[in-house]
Amino acid sequence: MPLGRRISKDVAARMEDDRRLAGSYRDRLADATAAETALRTAQAEDRPADELKALDAAFDQALTVALEAALAAERVEMGPKVYVPEGQDGAAHRAAEIAERKARARWTVRPWTDEIDRLRTARETHRLSYRAGRGVAAV
């Protein structure tokens, strides 16, 4: 007899997928750091624009993948109440939203929330500030 709270099979499966993805967070963050280093090195060496554009896309993709892993880690830390079983009505979705908001106030979830904010800010700053080519007209 299990002593824990019962959860549906699809919620358990999604939680396990998130747990696996969250376990690879450090590797994905290291990949993003390596991609940024490669981009900055290429910029310093004044490489061609098409090469810089490819490195720019790789860095953006690596940041996005690291962000997905951080989001999965946050959901796992929040617990099974934030997952909505398939085919549920609006009340279940609303209950999951409320549980998510409550969970974000816990001290165990807060570091992941801060990390997600940091990664989103880094990605958006990169997207808004970096231009690989000289094709943008100055206004």
Burial 18-44 (b: 16+ CB within 10 A, else e): beebbebbeebbebbeebbeebeebee
Average pLDDT, 10 consecutive residues per value, the chain (139 residues)? 70 92 96 96 92 93 97 94 84 90 92 96 90 51
Note the pLDDT of residue 89: 84
Note the pLDDT of residue 2: 57
